[in-house]
């Protein structure tokens, strides 16, 4: 699939969207006791956005570690046997991080607008438990 131009960037945008989307149910399960926090669109979207970006950063940490320990080329620091130096060596990683931010921002804005326009639409962004009590037993 790397024969498709910018395939890696498309993957990072979609991963940012998916991971930010996963941020909504995580936020919901962490804030299940405080119903006001669960319905605050700005707070939910900020958490979702931050979660998506953080996962992207940790993925880049993984690529760096794998390149260092296993002599792989996940960060595209080499073109064939020729090592890239300076700015060229950073372009793949920085492009990936910008793509992660773009995807996470898209999902955060979609979620924000959905919840802001109709607070009941948050049910489409979170998992609903059939149990009375949420996943966590921590009460504040």
110 within some domain? yes
Question: Which of 23-27's residues contact partners 24+ apart within 8 Å by CB, and which partners?
Answer: 23/47, 23/48, 23/49, 23/50, 23/51, 23/52, 24/48, 24/111, 24/122, 24/125, 24/126, 25/125, 25/126, 25/127, 26/51, 27/51, 27/126
Mean pLDDT of the chain, nearest integer: 84
Q: What is the pLDDT of residue 133?
A: 59
100 within some domain? yes
Please tell me the distance from the alpha carbon of residue 97 to that of residue 62, in angstroms, as a whole number: 13
Q: What is the pLDDT of residues 72-125, one digit of tens each?
A: 877 777 777 777 777 776 888 899 999 999 999 999 999 999 999 998 887 888
Look up the pTM and report it. 0.81
50 within some domain? yes
For the residues 50-77, what does the mean pLDDT come to? Answer: 89
Going by pLDDT thresholds of 50, 70 and 90, the confidence category of residue 10 is very high
Residue 28, pLDDT above cutoff 70: yes
Count how many domains the chain has.
Answer: 1
Share of the chain above pLDDT 70, in %: 81
Domain that holds residue 110: 7-123
31 within some domain? yes
């Amino acid at each position: 699939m790397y024969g498709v131009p910018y395939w890696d960037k498309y993957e990072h945008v979609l991963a940012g969207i998916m991971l930010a989307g996963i941020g909504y149910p995580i936020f919901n399960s962490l804030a299940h006791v405080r119903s006001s926090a669960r319905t605050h669109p700005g707070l939910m979207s900020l958490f979702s956005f931050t979660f998506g970006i953080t996962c992207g950063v940790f993925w880049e940490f993984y690529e760096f570690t794998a390149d260092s320990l296993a002599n792989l080329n996940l960060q595209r620091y080499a073109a064939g046997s020729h090592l890239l130096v300076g700015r060229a060596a950073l372009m793949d990683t920085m492009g990936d991080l910008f793509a992660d931010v773009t995807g996470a921002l898209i999902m955060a804005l979609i979620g924000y607008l959905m919840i802001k326009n109709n607070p009941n639409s948050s049910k489409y962004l979170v998992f609903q438990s059939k149990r009375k009590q949420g996943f966590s037993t921590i009460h504040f």
